[in-house]
């Protein structure tokens, strides 16, 4: 149990699916223009990954090796359709804002990756915990990026004014750049950089080490 818990916490920061394993980056960048869409997407993805890992792990002895990818994708796609329909029924405005990205959970490498790498080989309980850890790790990044982009882009969080903007008589000039696509790339890039600066063992080895050559020459 202690091992399972340490595995769980490791996935939140050190082995974070988005910044460490580069899984599920597409949606992490696209739905983070505001905090509410980021939260909704996190909830949808965590639900899908937990359910799919549990179901796939439950069926793992009955899935033939040769067609396992098709079975996994079908299970995931069915779950996504259920979530998508639920979202349309109870949160129509948000599902409009998320547009195609809910459907794209199907091809989110994170969900399929955990199914293939973990749920196919482990019993139900550890698979569920693994999926939950990855889901929360993914949500964490989405929430951080979503908060930064909404706060600096509109001066609000979840629609509540935090920094009063100039147009309403406040002091904060909103950075509309934060709402554009490049800002998402920059924020994730800077996050990866800072995580790797804290823990240099994560950093990739440079193919051409200029420092080394300089000291030799």
Partner 1 sequence: MTDLLVASIFQENLVLAYFLGICTFLAVSERVDTAVGLGIAIIAVQSITVPVNALILNGALVDGAWRWAGLPDVDLSHLRLIAFIGVIAAIVQILEMTLERFFPRLATALGSFLPLITVNCAILGGSLFMAERQYSIPEAAVYGFGSGLGWALAIIAFAAIRERLRYSDMPRAMHGLASAFLVTGLMSLGFAAFARVPL
**Does 91 sit near partner 1 (CB under 8 A)?**
no
Torsion angle of alpha carbons 143, 104, 98, 150, nearest 10°?
Answer: 30
Task: Spell out the residues 6+ positions from residue 26 whose beta carbon is closer than 8 angstroms to its own.
Answer: 101, 104, 108
Residues in the interface with partner 1 (CB under 8 A) total 52
Single out the segment in contact with partner 1 by CB under 8 A; choices: 42-50, 127-135, 153-161, 191-199: 191-199
200, 215, 216, 217: residue in contact with partner 1 (rule CB under 8 A): 200
Task: Return the DSSP state at 172.
Answer: B
Contact stretch for partner 1 (CB under 8 A) within 3-11, 16-24, 121-129, 149-157: 16-24
Residue 26 as a binder of partner 1 (CB under 8 A): the answer is: yes
Least Å from the CB of residue 199 to partner 1: 9
- Any idea of the CA torsion for 193, 196, 197, 198, to the nearest 10 degrees? 130
Cβ proximity to partner 1, 98 vs 136, nearer residue: 98
Q: Which helix (H) or strand (E) holds 156?
A: strand 156-157
What are the beta bridge partners of residue 156?
Answer: 161
- φ and ψ at 125, to 5 degrees? -60, -50
Shortest distance in whole angstroms from residue 13 CB to partner 1:
15
Query: Do 53 and 131 contact (CB within 8 A), yes or no?
Result: yes
Cβ burial of 172 (10 Å; 0-12, 13-18, 19+) is middle
Alpha carbon distance 181, 122 (integer Å): 38
- Mask for 47-86, x = binds partner 1 (CB under 8 A): -----------------------x--xx--xx-xx--xx-
Residues 155-184 within binding reach of partner 1 (CB under 8 A): 180-184
Q: How far is the CB of 162 from partner 1 (least distance, A)?
A: 25
Alpha-carbon gap, residue 108 to 162, rounded angstroms = 33
**Binding flag, residue 205, partner 1 (CB under 8 A):** yes
Residues that bind partner 1 (CB under 8 A): 19, 22-27, 29-30, 70, 73-74, 77-78, 80-81, 84-85, 99-100, 103-104, 106-109, 112, 180-186, 188-190, 192-194, 196-197, 200, 202-208, 210-211
């Amino acid at each position: 149990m202690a091992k399972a818990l340490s595995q769980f916490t490791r996935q939140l920061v050190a082995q974070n699916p988005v910044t460490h394993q580069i899984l599920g980056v597409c949606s992490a960048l696209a739905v983070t223009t505001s905090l509410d869409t980021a939260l909704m997407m996190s909830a949808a993805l965590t639900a899908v990954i937990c359910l799919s890992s549990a179901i796939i792990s439950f069926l793992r002895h009955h899935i033939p090796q040769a067609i396992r990818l098709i079975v996994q994708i079908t299970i995931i796609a069915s779950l996504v359709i259920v979530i998508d329909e639920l979202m349309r029924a109870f949160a129509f405005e948000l599902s409009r804002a998320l547009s195609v990205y809910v459907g794209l959970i199907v091809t989110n490498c994170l969900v399929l990756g955990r199914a293939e790498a973990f749920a196919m080989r482990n019993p139900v309980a550890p698979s569920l915990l693994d999926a939950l850890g990855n889901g929360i790790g993914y949500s964490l990044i989405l929430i951080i990026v979503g908060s930064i982009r909404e706060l600096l882009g509109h001066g609000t969080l979840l629609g509540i004014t935090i920094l009063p903007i100039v147009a309403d008589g406040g002091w904060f000039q909103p950075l509309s750049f934060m709402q554009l696509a490049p800002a998402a790339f920059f924020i994730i890039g800077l996050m990866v950089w800072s995580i790797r600066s804290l823990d240099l063992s994560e950093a990739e080895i440079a193919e051409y080490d200029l420092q080394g050559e300089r000291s030799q020459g």
